Amino acid sequence: MAHDPNCLFCKISEGSIPSQKVYEDEEIYAFKDINPAAPVHFLIIPRKHMPMLESAESQDAPLLGRMMELAPRLAKEQGCRPGKDGGFRLMVNNGADGGQEVFHLHLHVMGGPRPWNK
């Protein structure tokens, strides 16, 4: 599995930088955002280093699908209300113009009672 020794999120997923873990398995790591924009705000990342969504290849589709499938379950476990009266937001920033600050693919999962601070 590809790993970038200089990548912040690679270091977080391997445990060399502390984080508030939400979930982990062999391919995926999820942790709370250190600067949350909502009452519930965590990131889901692949352990495989991919700089951005645009870097994903066809063989990464099952991994990306697992990340998307995991998001609703983790959102509920972290306190988001299920169903149409509750919910959550998923966001992927891609590249500098897309607002990406850490160049390791990450899926923001945000939810909780509104209004949010940001």
Residue-level pLDDT at 113:
86
Structural domain spans, the chain = 8-111
**117 — pLDDT class (breaks 50, 70, 90):** low
Q: What are phi and psi of 109, to 5 degrees?
A: -120, 120
Taking the domain 8-111, which CATH number applies? 3.30.428.10
Helix residue spans in the chain (DSSP H) = 8-14, 61-77
Strands (E), 1-118: 21-24, 28-32, 40-46, 88-91, 107-111
**What is the average pLDDT across 24-31?**
97
Strand partners, 89: 110
Contacts of residue 100, Cβ cutoff 8 Å, sequence gap at least 6? 52, 93, 94
Q: Does the structure show a pLDDT above 80 at 81? A: yes
Of 41, 49, 104, 106, catalytic: 106
Q: Is the pTM of this model over 0.75?
A: yes
Q: Does the structure show a pLDDT above 70 at 61? A: yes
106 given a catalytic annotation: yes
